[in-house]
């Protein structure tokens, strides 16, 4: 699990300094009031009648303010006289089991106690039709038996494919509400086909006349709620596409254009469906054609997993190097069911494993082709979701000083290691 680094005396670790990155970032100031206003429209409110049993679909992604958003939607439905309940809608996540998916929601703060409604998490589905490509479409049985369905999801660029439709309301229908069987069916087809298949699946769901509306969430570059919009079911196909374009404008990025070594403190399913977002790193395990607005990075190191990901290290395959500690924390069962369902096996490949964090950094530098080892360009980030503050090596100082969107916010410091040669500096 480890390797020797020959020629350590050839590698001189540089000094670093913290940097604040600036992005255009609208933000919703009062979430409950915004939801109340969005749901007050005639087309939205008129879709649900008093006494209707309403299945509210909630997914597993690390959406900012998801607990408050979900509770606000639930409270509005109750005020109309409806009887809402929550359906975990996350394909194969949580180990592909009902209790596992309920546990995932609990980790997000969504429980029966916090929401004041039942959470029904069974994996049974029924076929509700076929797409024009003759693909079977499945729907959670409890949602099918409900009078109406409300979908809550974030609209954002997908991490494995590009097109008019990526992550959003349509994907929640096709993969989320289809549960494990539906997600497996969708992923039988190449990811490059998803922008075409998603609207086909959505049309089958919408023909049932059970989908009342969707609550679309957009986030800004600081992982905060930028926009909440209630979308009538009849507008899913057009509005999902339009909101995706807006979401792409809100995306953060790592601003230095050329990086020798990127050190990622943590990855996880709560950070990105791909563990670390390819839209940020420029690396994807998917073979679907994609272009990313990301810097050129020669080596990527992963130093940890989030607690929320519960050992699911999906995305580790996009790193070049990790540590023994990260390997020990991996739950291969959770990771493998995820990548097998999506068919993106490369996300679970194990990178070079080093004994400690010092060795990981040194090997990354030693194996770079273009790095100036006396003055390397190294960037530390907490994760691919939180990019307001990053840490950069001294070689990037001239670039930061010239930039209008990067500001040095601290003094130069040296990396410090404990007796096990793991970092003492706090980058998490």
CA dihedral 301, 307, 313, 319 (to 10 degrees): -10
Residue 47 scores a pLDDT above 50: yes
Angle between helices 194-207 and 236-250 (to 10 degrees): 140
Return the higher-pLDDT residue of 375 and 338: 375
Q: pLDDT confidence of 357, banded at 50, 70, 90? A: very high
Mean pLDDT of 67-92: 95
Residue 422 scores a pLDDT above 50: yes
**CB-based contacts of 109: which residues, under 8 Å, 6+ apart?**
66, 67
> In this predicted structure, what is the pLDDT of residue 10?
62
Mean pLDDT of 408-413: 97
Q: Is 136 helix (H, G, I), strand (E, B) or coil?
A: strand
> In this predicted structure, what is the pLDDT of residue 2?
47
Residue 1 scores a pLDDT above 50: no
Residue ranges of domains in the chain: 8-23+253-414, 31-250
Mean pLDDT of 105-132: 94
**CB–CB of 241/164 below 8 Å?**
yes
Q: Is 267 helix (H, G, I), strand (E, B) or coil?
A: strand
**CB–CB of 393/15 below 8 Å?**
yes
Burial (0-12, 13-18, 19+ Cβ within 10 Å), 329: middle
Q: What is the pTM of this model?
A: 0.77
Return the higher-pLDDT residue of 104 and 232: 232
**CB–CB of 281/300 below 8 Å?**
yes
The two structure tokens encoding residue 328? 């020990």
Distance between CA 319 and CA 324 in Å, rounded? 14
CA contacts within 13 A on the Cβ side of 98: 12
β-pairing verdict for 321-323 and 352-354: parallel
**CB–CB of 152/214 below 8 Å?**
yes
The full length of the chain comes to 428
Mean pLDDT (the chain) is 92
Return the higher-pLDDT residue of 380 and 123: 380
Residue 6 scores a pLDDT above 90: no
> In this predicted structure, what is the pLDDT of residue 171?
92
| Superfamily classification of domain 31-250 | LarA, N-terminal domain (3.40.50.11440)
Q: pLDDT confidence of 5, banded at 50, 70, 90? A: low
Mean pLDDT of 242-269: 95
Each residue of 312-338: pLDDT tens digit? 999 999 999 999 999 999 999 999 988
Q: Is 296 helix (H, G, I), strand (E, B) or coil?
A: strand
Q: Which residue has the tokens 């230095």?
A: 256
Q: pLDDT confidence of 162, banded at 50, 70, 90? A: confident
Residue 4 scores a pLDDT above 60: no
Residue 269 scores a pLDDT above 50: yes
Most confident of the following: 7-11, 185-189, 281-285, 316-320? 316-320
134: left (phi over 0), alpha (psi -120 to 50) or beta: left
Percent of the chain scoring above 70 in pLDDT: 98
User: What DSSP assignment string belongs to 345-405?
Assistant: GGGG---EEESSHHHHHHHHHHT-SS--TTS--EEEES-SS--SEEEEEGGGHHHHHH-SS
Residue 70 scores a pLDDT above 50: yes
Cα→Cα distances 380→18, 109, 302, Å: 9, 29, 10
């Amino acid at each position: 699990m480890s390797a020797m680094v020959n020629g350590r005396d050839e590698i001189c670790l540089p000094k670093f300094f913290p940097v604040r990155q600036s992005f255009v970032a609208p933000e919703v100031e009062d979430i409950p009031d915004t939801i109340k206003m969005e749901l007050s429209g005639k087309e939205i409110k008129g879709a649900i009648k008093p006494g209707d049993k309403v299945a509210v679909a909630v997914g597993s992604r690390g959406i900012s303010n998801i607990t408050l958003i979900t509770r606000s939607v639930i409270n509005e439905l109750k005020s109309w006289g409806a009887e809402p309940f929550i359906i975990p809608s996350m394909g194969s996540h949580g180990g592909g089991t009902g209790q596992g998916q309920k546990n995932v929601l609990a980790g997000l703060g969504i429980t029966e106690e916090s929401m004041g409604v039942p959470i029904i998490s069974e994996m049974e589905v029924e076929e509700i039709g076929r797409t024009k490509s003759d693909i079977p479409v499945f729907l959670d049985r409890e949602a099918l038996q409900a009078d109406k369905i409300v979908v809550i999801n974030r609209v954002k660029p997908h991490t494995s494919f590009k097109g008019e439709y990526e992550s959003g309301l349509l994907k929640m229908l096709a993969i989320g509400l289809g549960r494990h069987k539906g997600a497996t069916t969708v992923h039988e087809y190449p990811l490059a086909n998803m922008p075409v298949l998603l609207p086909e699946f959505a049309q089958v769901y919408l023909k049932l006349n059970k989908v009342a509306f969707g609550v679309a969430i957009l986030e800004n570059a600081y992982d905060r709620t930028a926009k909440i919009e209630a979308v009538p079911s009849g507008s899913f196909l057009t509005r999902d596409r339009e909101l995706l374009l807006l979401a792409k404008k809100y995306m953060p990025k790592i601003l230095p254009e050329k990086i020798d070594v990127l050190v990622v403190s943590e990855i996880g399913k709560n950070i990105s469906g791909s563990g670390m977002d390819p839209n940020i790193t420029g690396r994807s395990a998917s073979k679907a054609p994609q272009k990313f607005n990301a810097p050129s990075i020669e080596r990527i190191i992963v130093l940890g997993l989030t607690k929320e990901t519960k050992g699911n290290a999906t995305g580790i395959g996009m790193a070049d190097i990790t540590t023994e500690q990260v390997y020990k924390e991996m739950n291969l069962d959770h990771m493998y069911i995820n990548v097998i369902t999506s068919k993106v096996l490369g996300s679970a490949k194990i990178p070079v494993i080093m004994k400690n964090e010092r060795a990981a950094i040194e090997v990354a530098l030693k194996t770079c082709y273009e790095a100036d080892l006396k003055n390397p360009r190294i960037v530390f980030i907490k994760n691919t979701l939180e990019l307001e503050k990053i840490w950069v090596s001294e070689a990037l100082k001239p670039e930061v000083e010239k930039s209008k969107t990067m500001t040095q916010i601290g003094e130069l410091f040296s990396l410090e290691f404990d007796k096990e040669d793991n970092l003492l500096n706090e980058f998490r």
